[in-house]
Amino acid sequence: MGEPAIVPGGRRHVLDLDDFAAEEISAVLETARSMQEVLGRRIKQVPALRGRTVVNMFFEDSTRTRISFEVAARALSAAIVNFSARGSSVEKGESLLDTVRTIEALGADVIVIRHAEAGVPQLVAHAFGGSVINAGDGRHAHPSQALLDLYTIHARFGSIAGLRVVIVGDVVHSRVVRSGLWGLTTMGARVTLVAPTTLLGPAAYWHATWPEVTVTTDLDRAIDGADVVMALRLQQERQDAGLLPSLGEYRRRYAITAERLARAAPHAIVMHPGPMNAGVEITPEVATAPQSVIEAQVGNGVAVRMALLYHLAGES
């Protein structure tokens, strides 16, 4: 591992990217590059977090994010414990914050939490003496996903400033978009959000926080010359009745197809945070095309999460 980047100011928690300056994002990406180098070795482990304990508390389904934090913690030699609400005292009525205090008393240094309710990671951060990483709260934030997306874009283009990024899909329900917007705009990308009106929400809502972002229902126009095309999953578990047009109609106007992708810049990359509804928001052909970096995103997620764990819990 090379000399890790020093995070300006230091920080205890990663709850969203709204409080990350460009300098700090760059520092995380730089550390993640060192971590990627570790992951390329035959023995994919360094002792940076030996003796530290990371607890994964996932109250919502997850495959890649949970496993990715687990692999990341192990690669840094931390102990990792997967807390499962089922079978725990949460089922006996113990409050979440009491559970957090118990986990602290048992010696946890970092809690990685995913919860269906927005704001839970902030509450946990107030109650817990260690560090908290938000692994996704409701529609609110998903900072490690946004950082791995930035890492993936940077790895391909060498910089982020000035790139045209189109994010298409269920933006209204997406925590990936909200953290992504903080990160992308802070790094100087030009972002366009695309969705049918009902999955887009009012333009004024987006402009109130991110005035520089373009919002449209017209994918064919937005994708013209784009450098990055990011498709989002239709969040079936978060749909209020009546928001979704028919799947066929959605597909016809918003799926990333090879034909549509041909309108983007020739060097354009295609991203998706997963899990994909293949054949709905993206065709299987595009998902596996050479322009797709979807698999790279998953691999990069481990390096970026190692960087976050290292910055929060490593010696400095």
Q: Least distance (Å) from ligand NCD to the CB of residue 27?
A: 23
Q: Least distance (Å) from ligand NCD to the CB of residue 257?
A: 20
Query: Given candidates 31, 99, 134, 145, which one binds ligand NCD under the rule CB under 6 A?
Result: 145
When the beta carbons of 52 and 178 are compared against ligand NCD, the nearer one is 178
Per rule CB under 6 A, is residue 4 in the interface with ligand NCD? no
When the beta carbons of 125 and 294 are compared against ligand NCD, the nearer one is 294
Q: Please give the Cα distance from 185 to 269 (Å, whole number).
A: 18
Per rule CB under 6 A, is residue 64 in the interface with ligand NCD? yes
Query: Given candidates 142, 154, 178, 305, which one binds ligand NCD under the rule CB under 6 A?
Result: 142
Q: Least distance (Å) from ligand NCD to the CB of residue 11?
A: 21
Q: Residue 133: is it exposed, middle or buried by C-beta count within 10 angstroms (0-12/13-18/19+)?
A: buried
Q: Least distance (Å) from ligand NCD to the CB of residue 50?
A: 28
Q: Closest Cα to residue 114, out of 97, 84, 136?
A: 136
The 235-274 site mask, x for binding ligand NCD (CB under 6 A), equals x-------------------------------------xx
Maximum distance among all Cα pairs of the chain, rounded to whole angstroms: 56
- Residues 6 or more apart whose Cβ sits within 8 Å of residue 106: none
* Size of interface with ligand NCD, in residues (CB under 6 A): 11
Residue nearest to ligand NCD (CB): 233
Give residues 174-233 in contact with ligand NCD (rule: CB under 6 A).
Answer: 175-176, 233
Q: Least distance (Å) from ligand NCD to the CB of residue 268?
A: 21
Q: Least distance (Å) from ligand NCD to the CB of residue 61?
A: 8
Q: Which two tokens stand for residue 96?
A: 């979440």
DSSP for 85-107, written as a single string = STTSTTTTT--HHHHHHHHHHTT
Q: Please give the Cα distance from 103 to 125 (Å, whole number).
A: 13
When the beta carbons of 159 and 236 are compared against ligand NCD, the nearer one is 236
When the beta carbons of 146 and 187 are compared against ligand NCD, the nearer one is 146
What are the start-end ranges of the E strands in the chain? 53-58, 79-83, 110-115, 131-137, 164-168, 190-194, 214-216, 228-231, 269-271
Q: Please give the Cα distance from 142 to 15 (Å, whole number).
A: 8
Q: Which two tokens stand for residue 168?
A: 């298409």
Per rule CB under 6 A, is residue 65 in the interface with ligand NCD? yes
Q: Least distance (Å) from ligand NCD to the CB of residue 247?
A: 16
Give CA 298 to chain center in angstroms: 10
165 φ/ψ angles, rounded to the nearest 5 degrees:
-110, 125
Quickly count: other Cβ atoms within 10 Å of residue 68's Cβ: 25
When the beta carbons of 127 and 276 are compared against ligand NCD, the nearer one is 276
Site residues, ligand NCD (CB under 6 A): 64-65, 136, 142, 145, 175-176, 233, 235, 273-274
